Amino acid sequence: MSSNEIREIRGNKISMIFQDPMTSLNPFLRISTQMVETIQLHQKIDKKAAKAKAIEMLKLAGIPAPEKRIDQYPHQFSGGMRQRVMIAMGLSCNPEILIADEPTSALDVTIQAQILELMQELTRKLGTAVILITHSLGVVAGMCDTICVMYAGRIVERGRTEEIFESPRHPYTQGLIRSVPRLDQETKERLYSIPGQPPNVIDLPDCCPFYPRCEKAMDICREKYPPVASFENNQSASCWLYAKEAQNV
């Protein structure tokens, strides 16, 4: 695609919220300048209508006195409020997909919960699908319908959230779930952690990249990348443990 074709998709169909709202917003420009420019670029409306739309979006995102706040600079907002501005900006052109890359990890825990709730409420209201990128299994459990677990840049397991948590198939997913502290279970054992280190992603082996850390590794795991195996409940996993299921695909 040409740059112009891609620009039609960015913002209009797909938009993105980043981890740290302070570095995503331009510190030298008022919020109004940043939002109005984005809306005008994608919606082909005049400046006055774009500003009215920006104020409406800030209001929806829970910014108090949006008519006044819109003319302030990013440093005049708290971290949580800046992320609300980013959400308002991301959703201002009614995208079909919103990619949220660790949207709450730069915020403190109480604000995290408010931002996640806001994202859920707004995207449901506007009919936007969300791709949430996160390391937090707690956030995943509360927010997502479907999970793709990635290791070394590739999807290794995919399925409905409740199925992945109840019966994870891939040893990496199993390790991740075992590493979460449980308040509902009494235990005297040390909390599990996956041994070893992630591989160097610029020099990946042709085999399963998880094998040096995998408790279930077999000889074939060191030779070839595993095929995708699909299960009846639409869960799938890339692992040689399911070679038989992979043959039936």
Residue with tokens 């996160």: 134
Nearer to ligand SF4, 88 or 241 (CB): 241
* Residue 110 or 193 with smaller CB distance to ligand SF4: 193
In the complex, what is the shortest distance from the CB of residue 235 to ligand SF4, in angstroms, rounded to a whole number? 15
Tell me how far, at minimum, the Cβ of 218 lies from ligand SF4, in Å.
Answer: 6
Q: Which is nearer to ligand SF4, 79 or 205 (CB)?
A: 205
Per-residue exposure over 205-230, b if at least 16 CB sit within 10 Å of its own CB, e if not: eebbbbbebbeebeeebeeeebebbb
Q: Which of 54, 63, 87, 239 binds ligand SF4 (CB under 6 A)?
A: 239
CA 55 vs CA 59, 119, 158, 163, 249: distances in Å: 6, 17, 39, 41, 51
Write the CA distances from 88 to 35, 57, 230, 231, 246, integer angstroms. 9, 5, 38, 39, 43
The span of 10-18, 93-101, 158-166, 239-247 binding ligand SF4 (CB under 6 A) equals 239-247
Q: What backbone phi and psi angles, to 5 degrees, belong to 139? A: -65, -40
Considering only residues 131 to 170 of the shown chain, the ones binding ligand SF4 according to CB under 6 A are 170
Question: Cβ closer to ligand SF4: 10 or 213?
Answer: 213
Among 80, 90, 171, 175, indicate the residue that binds ligand SF4 (CB under 6 A): 171
Distances, alpha carbon 160 to alpha carbons 19, 56, 101, 146, 235, in Å: 25, 34, 20, 4, 7
Name the nearest CA neighbour of 115 among 102, 125, 96, 99.
102
Query: Which residue number, 18 or 192, has a Cβ lying nearer to ligand SF4?
Result: 192
Comparing CB distances to ligand SF4, the nearer of 77 and 240 is 240
CB 155 within 8 A of CB 148: yes
The least distance separating ligand SF4 from the CB of residue 241, rounded to whole angstroms, comes to: 5
CA 249 – CA 230 distance, rounded (Å): 7
Residues 172-231 that bind ligand SF4 (CB under 6 A): 208, 210-211, 214, 216-218, 221, 226
21 lines the binding site for ligand SF4 (CB under 6 A): no
Which residues sit at the interface with ligand SF4, rule CB under 6 A? 170-171, 208, 210-211, 214, 216-218, 221, 226, 239-241
